[in-house]
Structure formats: structure tokens, C-alpha cells
Amino acid sequence: MNETTERKSLLAYGMEGGLWLGLYLVLRFICSVAGSFSPIFDALALMMFVGTPFVLYYIMLRYHRNNGFVSGFSLLWMMGIMLFFFASLICAVPEFIFYQYIDPDYIANAMSQSLKLIEDMGLMKDDEAYNQMRQLIEQGTAPTAIQMIMSSMWSNVFFGSLLSIVVAPFVTRKKYKA
């Protein structure tokens, strides 16, 4: 009697791959936060940022192989969006804990450092974004932890969608070798 293996749905692969991508993004976040203490972590966070398309390629290729190489560009693009959505949900928890409980002044300090860097470079002094950032710091109204998390989630999904558009054609070109 032949055994048939049940294939996972796109949503199931998106959630499973999102778990692994989420853990990767959490490690990248930890390295970027620790980068303010050591340049080694900063360099590691940068390498992980550059490595994100390769991680996405590997996860998409696994889905493509397990579906018998029948998944097309649009399915892979949709999977990439789901991957980054679920990964953002996972990454949101440690980010919130860090911003809210571990270092509540991190956001305000990062804004102050950015403002100081802009002032030292002598750039953008007449720019509206610079003036608004300066006003926020003077008023002590830096974004809250939830605002940072929501911003991070939206940017992850948006840029993940764009990255998926770039990576998906490379995955669909991969042919099965018998």
C-alpha cells in the first residue's frame, strides 16, 4: 500500500518559516542593541542584516522543494510576506520587553545621539524632520515602546515584501535535480 504524505499549506509553511526567521530577527536585534557596547556586535548585526536575503532564500527554497517545485512566483511572494509578518510578531516580544523594561530610555537616547550626529556633521539643520526630532527631544516625548514595535512590524512586513519580490524569481529558477 502506498503511503501518501500530506503537504503543508502555504500558511503552515509561512508560520513555521516565520518562527525561524523571527528567531533570526531577534538575534539581529540583540546584536544591534549590544552594538552600542561593542563594535563586534555592531559588525555582527550588520552581517546579519546583509544575510537576511540568504535566510529568506533558504526558507523559500525549502517550501519550493517540498511542494514539488510547483509553487510559482506569486505564491513565493505571498509566502515571503507571511514569513515577515509572523517573524515580526515573534520579534515584537523581546523588543517590547527591552524598550519597556530593560532600557526605557533607549529610544530617547538613540534619538539624542542621532540629533547630535546630525549637528556635528552640519547637515539638515533646516530640514523639517530635524526640527521635529529636536522638538520631540526638548519636550521629552520620544516614541513609546508600542509605537516603536508597531513601526518595526510595519517596516519588516513592507521591506520583507519588497525583498520577497527580489528573492522569489531566484527560487523559482532553481530546478529539481533527479
Q: What is the dihedral of CA 26, 105, 149, 93, to 10 degrees?
A: 50
**Mean per-residue pLDDT pooled into runs of 10, the chain (178 residues):** 68 93 97 92 96 96 78 87 96 96 90 84 76 82 91 96 94 67
Q: Which residues are CB-contacts of 106 (< 8 A; sequence separation ≥ 6)?
A: 33, 98, 99
What's the grid cell of residue 59? 526558507
Residue 174 has what pLDDT?
Answer: 64
Residue 15 to residue 86: CA distance in whole angstroms:
6
